[in-house]
Amino acid sequence: MGSGERANDAVDDRVQLGLALLERLEHESLPLADVVDRIETVTSDPTVTRTILDKAELRGVIERDDGIIRPKSRQYVNFDRDVITKEGEFRCRRCGSGLSTGYFIDLEGGELGPFGSSCIRKVTGRE
């Protein structure tokens, strides 16, 4: 397998993880900027972000209307079942803070994290 194929696999993994995250958003609607903030926990590449949004819309995961995103799924992240904590030395994927306890979201596309205690609430829509 060439390096181009590995790069495509990495993009596909980020797209799948991003789609899995969008499927679990706990909101009736969100501004596009808030959705992008959550996607940036998966990737900061604008092309991959756009691909995630486009595929999510095509698959009926979200509706986009004038800068507002409306998630269509009602399969929210359940903290007891879907959030895993691990002890160690981590950096929050959202804010970059050092952590001794990392919170990870167990999604169909893989684990997303680590996050700190307040960022996990923001990413999952609890705050």
pLDDT tens digits for range 42-85: 999 999 999 999 999 999 999 999 999 998 877 777 778 889 99
Check pLDDT > 50 for residue 2. no
Question: What would the CATH number be for the domain defined by 3-71?
Answer: 1.10.10
Confidence tier at 7 by pLDDT (50, 70, 90): low
pLDDT tens digits for range 95-120: 999 999 999 999 877 899 999 999 99
**Which comes out higher in pLDDT, residue 74 or 19?**
19
Single out the residue of 40, 42, 38 nearest to residue 25, CA to CA: 38
Residue 127 pLDDT: 66
Confidence tier at 3 by pLDDT (50, 70, 90): very low
Query: What would the two tokens of residue 115 be?
Result: 């996050």
Query: What would the two tokens of residue 48 be?
Result: 């991959």
Confidence tier at 9 by pLDDT (50, 70, 90): low
The domain limits of the chain are 3-71, 79-124
Return d(Cα 31, Cα 74) in angstroms, integer.
18
